[in-house]
């Protein structure tokens, strides 16, 4: 075989051979958790790193003219090897079944990231790719290939590949430090579960099944935790203000003070790297390859959304405060620990909708089945359970994805809390996709109720929306990773477009036709009545402007802390100042939310992604028949023009190809005002 034409399949075989040299090979070159131990995971990862180095060597060994086959193919093979190793060491860092595996995953993630940094600073590889870009063959290549090459060259330049040896060495040190600090920040949150003590009387207002899951121990003490299935219901339903405050403070301080120093060091390393590369701030560097265009454009966008949402947010808050004043004036002014409870009370009184009343229609297993069915019909795919799949925990469900009878990928659903597991809700790649050689696989890592014998896992309607959201990521990865290049899958789009498909799928939740396909009383089988869905949708529409303002606050905070001297930042004071700027709800004294704000390690200064992508998502959804989105012909058009494209074209082009124009904030205004206009 010509080494320069080595396929991904050949690379995987080489991983097996490399790992087997002098040792027993891992049982599956695509799935690191099957290595069976920390030592096995190390061996598995090193095998893929060896495959990456071999592919790079093949690329550099080419004699004569550069071609897509002898240059971009081995480069993509190297990227695929790093993707496999990085995706799965990060996975086991988040969900591994022992502290030893999680520790090993964390350490190996750093090693893989360091290898990726080395590749991004490799001047010989960059020179080869630049030479390829100038050839007639590259210029005549298909649009996806040209975009991949152009985007890769941009990322190389932003990484600092064209700097001298001394500067590139400094870049590598800083990149490695950023990786280490980011992983430490996330691990402190992951391991930071706290407990709260309560008495039975303090659980008044909470659902009966919640109370049943929390029996009193010695002395009548009930133990709650900062895991989501405890925190969310308490803040929404507990009538006891003291309990709400205690659990809110515990939740907001579960990684404090550990993460204060970690975050400050992380911000300093990012600033140093940006300055080294010639950018005034990290935010300028972080937006240089994004849809938004740059910091000036970002600030203008945030101001535009603020103007579109602030008046309605004031109307919402004025109505809420008038209601509280009438019911219990002593509860004013409201704090962060109170707002969820009182908004729930307001919705009950104003819209005749008690969100507890629909929980019996959202038992976890039925919701999962319903979302698989709805997504299957919407995206025109089929999900088949894989009963004998070997997974990292017995609670993980596995499904193969079929498109017109052809298997196109696999998904894993790790959906309930357990000790040591990541505490948030996310979707991530497990394997990249490469047509004809490697199917994409993805995972949902969530913390919904249920997962225990006898517990139906009754979900809040907000939980169901979150499930739809995360599933949108999953489908974008699987269906958008069916192309020639491993590096152009769904998760490889510009970072500030990645939330658009997931937020678009959230809107499906409001369709009675979609909900009635699975929302049934888990005892009687009664279908959720259309009239109840109508009241639920009206109640859910209340607070949209406030949600947008909250997202603007978080976007502003993430931008601010990346534009000033890290040593001077008073994290909590700045966070509370921003809260006051965007909401009359008072910050909770003693809370240190920033220390558990894990998006600061992922999106860094670019948290605005959620706001931009909400604008895009609701603009997309306005083209659908909202009552029957699943069977709307727009669904296939959306899949073809947006989802299936993955990262084969600039995200702005995908938006324009579907809408016929760039996105507009007008759809967001209509989405916010839907309740006010009724």
Q: For 459-484, what is each residue's pLDDT tens digit?
A: 999 999 999 999 999 999 999 999 99
Topology alike, domains 3-162 and 360-545+609-673: no
> Cα torsion at 12, 15, 20, 26 (round to 10°)?
-70
Task: Give 510's DSSP letter.
Answer: G
Q: How much is the pTM?
A: 0.94
pLDDT, tens digit, for every residue of 558-569? 999 999 999 999
Confidence of residue 312 (pLDDT cuts 50, 70, 90): very high
Whole-number percent of the chain with pLDDT over 90: 94
Q: Is residue 13's pLDDT more than 60?
A: no
pLDDT digits (tens, 9 = 90+) for 657-671: 999 999 999 999 999
pLDDT at 4: 31
- Label residue 477 exposed, middle or buried (CB < 10 Å: 0-12, 13-18, 19+): buried
Q: Is the pLDDT of residue 21 over 50?
A: no
Round to whole Å and give the CA distance between 616 and 333. Answer: 35
pLDDT (tens digit per residue) in 120-148: 999 999 999 999 999 999 999 999 999 99
Over residues 80-101, the pLDDT tens digits come to 999 999 999 999 999 999 999 9
Nearest to 55 by CA among 8, 87, 1: 8
Is 230 exposed, middle or buried (CB count within 10 Å of its CB: 0-12, 13-18, 19+)? Answer: buried
Structure tokens that stand for 610 in this block? 């959620």
Q: Into which CATH architecture does domain 3-162 fall?
A: Up-down Bundle (1.20)
User: By the 8 A CB rule, do 192 and 254 touch?
Assistant: yes
Q: Which residues pair with 409 in a beta bridge?
A: 401
The answer to whether 395 and 416 have CB atoms below 8 angstroms apart is: yes
In the CATH hierarchy, which fold is given to the domain comprising 360-545+609-673? 1.10.1370
Other C-beta atoms lying within 10 Å of the C-beta of residue 1: 7
Mean local confidence (pLDDT), 263-287: 98
pLDDT of the residue at 676: 61
Mean pLDDT of 492-510: 96
pLDDT value for 678: 57
Q: Per-residue b/e over 521-530, b at no fewer than 16 CB within 10 Å?
A: ebeeeebbee
CB 527 within 8 Å of CB 280: no
Specify the pLDDT at position 28: 76
Mean local confidence (pLDDT), 290-303? 98
Q: What is the mean pLDDT of the chain?
A: 94
Could you tell me the residue ranges of all domains in the chain?
3-162, 193-252, 360-545+609-673
The confidence band for 365, taking pLDDT boundaries of 50, 70 and 90, is very high
Residue 677 binned pLDDT confidence (cut-offs 50, 70, 90)? low
């Amino acid at each position: 075989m010509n080494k320069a034409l080595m396929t991904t399949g050949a690379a995987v075989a080489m991983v097996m051979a490399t790992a087997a040299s002098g040792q027993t090979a891992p049982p599956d070159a695509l799935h690191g958790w099957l290595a069976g131990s920390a030592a096995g995971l190390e061996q598995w990862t090193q095998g893929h790193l060896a495959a990456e180095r071999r592919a790079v060597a093949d690329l550099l060994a080419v004699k004569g003219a550069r071609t897509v086959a002898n240059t971009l193919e081995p480069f993509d093979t190297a990227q695929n090897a790093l993707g496999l190793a990085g995706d799965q060491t990060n996975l086991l860092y988040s969900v591994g079944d022992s502290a030893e595996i999680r520790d090993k995953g964390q350490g190996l993630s750093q090693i893989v990231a360091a290898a990726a940094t080395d590749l991004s600073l490799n001047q010989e590889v960059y020179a080869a790719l630049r030479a390829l870009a100038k050839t007639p063959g590259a210029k005549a290549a298909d649009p996806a290939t040209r975009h991949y090459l152009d985007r890769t060259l941009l990322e190389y330049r932003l990484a600092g590949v064209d700097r001298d040896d001394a500067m590139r060495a400094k870049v590598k040190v800083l990149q490695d430090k950023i990786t280490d600090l980011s992983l430490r920040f996330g691990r402190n949150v992951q391991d930071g579960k706290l407990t709260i003590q309560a008495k039975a009387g303090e659980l008044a207002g909470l659902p009966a099944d919640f109370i049943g899951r929390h029996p009193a121990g010695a002395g009548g003490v009930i133990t709650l935790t900062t895991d989501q299935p405890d925190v969310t219901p308490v803040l929404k339903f507990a009538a006891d203000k003291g309990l709400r405050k205690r659990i809110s403070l515990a939740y907001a301080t579960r990684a404090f003070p550990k993460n204060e120093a970690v975050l400050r060091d992380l911000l300093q390393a990012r600033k140093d790297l940006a300055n080294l590369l010639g950018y005034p701030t990290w935010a300028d560097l972080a937006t240089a390859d994004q849809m938004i265009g740059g910091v000036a454009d970002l600030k203008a966008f945030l101001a535009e959304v603020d103007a579109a949402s602030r008046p309605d947010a004031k109307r919402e808050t004025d109505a809420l405060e008038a209601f509280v004043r009438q019911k219990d004036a002593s509860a004013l002014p409201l704090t962060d620990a109170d707002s969820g409870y009182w908004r729930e009370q307001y919705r009950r009184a104003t819209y005749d909708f008690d969100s507890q009343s629909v929980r019996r229609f959202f038992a976890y297993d039925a919701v999962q089945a319903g979302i698989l069915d709805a997504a299957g019909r919407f995206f025109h795919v089929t999900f088949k359970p894989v009963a004998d799949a070997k997974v990292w925990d017995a609670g993980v469900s596995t499904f193969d994805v079929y498109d017109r009878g052809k298997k196109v990928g696999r998904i894993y659903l790790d959906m309930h809390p357990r000790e040591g597991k990541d505490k948030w809700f996310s979707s991530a790649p497990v394997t990249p996709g490469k047509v004809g050689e490697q199917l994409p696989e993805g995972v949902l890592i969530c913390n919904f109720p249920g997962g225990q014998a006898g517990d139906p896992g009754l979900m809040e309607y907000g939980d169901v929306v979150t499930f739809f959201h995360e599933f949108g990521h999953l489908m974008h990865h699987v269906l958008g990773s069916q192309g020639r290049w491993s590096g152009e899958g769904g998760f490889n789009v510009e970072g500030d477009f990645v939330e658009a498909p997931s937020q678009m799928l959230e809107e499906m939740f409001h369709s009675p036709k979609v909900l009635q396909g699975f929302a049934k009383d888990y005892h009687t089988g009664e279908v959720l009545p259309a009239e109840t869905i109508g009241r639920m949708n009206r109640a859910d529409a209340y607070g949209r402007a406030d949600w947008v303002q909250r997202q603007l606050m978080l976007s502003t905070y993430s931008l601010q802390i990346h534009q000033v001297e890290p040593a001077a930042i008073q994290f909590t004071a700045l966070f509370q100042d921003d809260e006051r700027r965007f909401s009359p709800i008072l910050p909770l004294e003693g809370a240190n939310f920033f220390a558990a704000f894990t998006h600061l390690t992922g999106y860094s200064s670019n948290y605005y992604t959620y706001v931009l992508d909400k604008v895009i998502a609701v603009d997309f959804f306005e083209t659908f028949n909202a009552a029957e989105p699943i069977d709307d012909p727009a669904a296939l058009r959306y899949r073809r023009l947006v989802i299936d494209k993955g990262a084969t074209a600039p995200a702005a082009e995908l938006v324009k190809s579907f809408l016929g124009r760039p996105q507009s904030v007008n759809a967001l205004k209509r989405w916010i005002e839907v309740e006010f206009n009724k």
